[in-house]
Amino acid sequence: MAPDPNPSLEQAHALTGKLFRVVELARSDFAAVAAELDLTPLQARTLLWLEHPSAMRDLAGHLACDASNVTGLADRLERRGVVERVAGEDRRVKLLQLTDEGRRLRGRLARRVAAGSTVSARLTASERAQLGGLLDRMLETGRSPDHHGTGSSS
């Protein structure tokens, strides 16, 4: 079945409201898990994202924040001993990478996030996979260059 590019106002409003409520629940669950490990949600997101060494500007893009915020975030995580700054191939670029302690904390965090999600707790594995696929499609639509007329002049 082809996607409906023009849902009714009522459908769009209901779906948007439900998505916002799901996001609020997921954020609340995530913040609670982060707090259990004495992390802010932003610190927890950073640890989960740092699977491989990453340029601090890339981390800023992922977190949708200014690079100056990432510097303070990196300072706090570095003082805690869970990340370290290393020189990249281009020595002007600093990379942030997990320490051994950071990898252990990341593993604990990932397990607790998975176990503590009330948002998907009532879904079967098949339903979670289906929802993931639908969310991927929604996100792809949001990234397309001509979405809302921002990329195409036709």
- Among residues 53, 49, 55, 24, the alpha carbon closest in space to that of 109 is found at 49
CA distances from 135 to 15, 33, 35, 121, 140 (A): 12, 23, 27, 17, 9
pLDDT in tens, 60-83: 999 998 888 999 999 999 999 999
One digit per residue, the tens of pLDDT, for the chain of length 154 reads: 666 667 788 888 899 999 999 999 999 999 999 999 999 999 999 999 999 999 988 999 999 988 889 999 999 999 999 999 998 888 788 899 999 999 999 999 999 998 878 888 889 999 999 999 999 998 887 665 544 433 333 3
- Per domain, the residue ranges of the chain are 19-118
Task: Specify the 3-state DSSP secondary structure of 149.
Answer: helix
Listing from the earlier edge strand, what are the strands of the sheet with 83-87? Answer: 54-55, 94-98, 83-87
71, amino acid identity? T
80 token code pair: 């805690």
pTM (2 d.p.): 0.77
Task: Specify the 3-state DSSP secondary structure of 98.
Answer: strand
CATH of 19-118, one of 2.60.40.420, 1.10.10.60, 3.40.50.170, 1.10.10.10: 1.10.10.10
